[in-house]
Amino acid sequence: MMGWGVFRIFSLLAILFVGTALADSGEFDMSRWSSIMDDIRVRAAEQKISESMIEDTLRSPAFIPSIVKSDKNQSEFKLTLDSYLARTVKSDRISKGRRMRTKYDSMLNHVENTYGVQPHVILAFWGMESNYGEVKSRHRLIDAFFTLIYDGRREKFFSEQLLALMKIADKNSLDINKMRGSWAGAMGHFQFIPTTLETYGVDGDGDKKVDIINNVSDAMASAGNYLSKLGWNKNEKIARRVILPADFDTSLLDGKTKKTLNEWAKMGVLNPDGTEIPHGEMVAGLVADVANLPDAIPADENPDTDIAPMPVITAYLTYPNFYRIKKWNNSNWYAIAISELADKLK
């Protein structure tokens, strides 16, 4: 068996392969890189990760400058809700989702029976996260995590992710050097980070392994288990598109203010066709693209003063499942897209 010194040499050689690209990120600190590997080795041993897994992990991690660039230059540009939905709830994604419903019918039904999450909901997450497994991951996960640890912006977080990945690979006899994911370390059909997978991952096909990258059954079961643990209620909607009076208080449209359906109805919230929304004591929020609302028509400019201004604000009533989705991805737009896509896939 090769010693630690030989593994370190392999690692340093891997770094040299990307040496010409390091100019953009400044001088590379080899002592820091070595210190990080030493720290991971010690912590992994303390957490009872096998020596063979530690050696496999530390054999040849590479520093990838483009990952640092991606982490530091995440776009702050925000799409309008309509633009976001146009990009995510696309006709081809809907069509492919319907084909996947037929192809994986028994598997999806098993997930529903076991975890209480409907097939169209699982398909919506699958479509959003990886376009049903079509999106291929670019980076070896160990490279991504070592690079992000070295970068230092969230060193503690990414160290925890790497150690969780090592535990997962060790427990499930997976080749950690072949596990690939996004530059930020998300992996598989549903783009779990390692700590999420470690907590919620389950064996979907009974082979006593959990592999959400290569095994669709494990991926679906893990997604169902995660949503179930978040409190998913299959008898509730996620969100409902509604319209509001032109003079509606837009400060209430961030999803944080919660009222009963009866209270929202009294404030003029209507279905898109102008009929009343369901009444009841269920608590819901309201979400709208406040930054891009159309200009309201003042009442004194209405040609018929006996008729109130028509509702002009489109919004979404957001039910408890909506907020469970936000624990998966803390974005109102994402949760609305899941709702819209799931409705299309029923």
Answer yes or no: do 173 and 260 share one domain.
no
Q: What mean pLDDT is predicted for residues 162-170?
A: 98
User: Of the given ranges (82-96, 128-142, 154-168, 189-203), which has the lowest mean pLDDT?
Assistant: 128-142
Q: What mean pLDDT is predicted for residues 230-257?
A: 95
Give the pLDDT band (50/70/90) at residue 71. Answer: confident
Report if residue 101 sits inside a domain: no
More confident residue, 183 or 19: 183
Report if residue 130 sits inside a domain: no
Report the domain count for the chain.
2
Enumerate residues 6+ apart whose C-beta is below 8 A from 189: 126, 129, 130, 132, 133, 212, 213, 216, 219, 220, 223
Supply the pLDDT for residue 7.
46
Report if residue 296 sits inside a domain: yes
Supply the pLDDT for residue 15.
52
Tokens at 60, concatenated: 């040849």
Using a pLDDT cut of 90, give the percent of the chain over it. Answer: 80
Answer yes or no: do 143 and 288 share one domain.
no
Half-sphere exposure of 110 (CA within 13 A, CB side): 15
Answer yes or no: do 162 and 292 share one domain.
no
The residue segments making up the domain with residue 266 are 239-318
Query: Any bridge partners for residue 283, and if so which?
Result: 260
Supply the pLDDT for residue 293.
78
Report if residue 340 sits inside a domain: no
Answer yes or no: do 162 and 250 share one domain.
no
How far is Cα 255 from Cα 251, in angstroms, rounded to an integer? 10
Q: What mean pLDDT is predicted for residues 203-232?
A: 97
- Residues 22-60: b if buried by 16+ CB within 10 A, e if exposed: eeebeebeeeebeebbeebbebbeeeebeeebbbbbbbb
Please check the confidence at residue 298 and state whether its pLDDT lies above 80. no
Its pTM stands at: 0.88
Q: What angle do CA 206, 208, 210 make, to 5 degrees?
A: 95
How many C-beta atoms surround the C-beta of residue 245 within 10 A? 17
Supply the pLDDT for residue 260.
97
Among residues 129, 149, 179, the one where a domain terminates is: 179
Give the closest residue to 191 by CA, choosing from 244, 237, 132, 144. 132
Answer yes or no: do 162 and 287 share one domain.
no
Average pLDDT of the chain?
89
Answer yes or no: do 286 and 162 share one domain.
no
Answer yes or no: do 313 and 173 share one domain.
no
Report if residue 212 sits inside a domain: no
Answer yes or no: do 171 and 262 share one domain.
no
Supply the pLDDT for residue 75.
58
Answer yes or no: do 38 and 173 share one domain.
yes
Using a pLDDT cut of 70, give the percent of the chain over it. Answer: 86
Answer yes or no: do 269 and 152 share one domain.
no
Answer yes or no: do 36 and 157 share one domain.
yes
Burial (0-12, 13-18, 19+ Cβ within 10 Å), 241: middle
Answer yes or no: do 146 and 262 share one domain.
no
Report if residue 79 sits inside a domain: no
Q: pLDDT per residue over 253-290, tens digit each?
A: 999 999 999 999 999 999 999 999 999 999 999 999 99
Report if residue 292 sits inside a domain: yes
Supply the pLDDT for residue 2.
45
- Residues 75-87: b if buried by 16+ CB within 10 A, e if exposed: eeeeeebeebbee
Alpha-carbon separation of residue 217 from 17, 117, 220, 317 (angstroms): 37, 14, 5, 33
Question: Angle, nearest 10°, between helix axes 320-328 and 332-344?
Answer: 110
Supply the pLDDT for residue 301.
53
Q: What mean pLDDT is predicted for residues 183-203?
A: 97
Report if residue 225 sits inside a domain: no
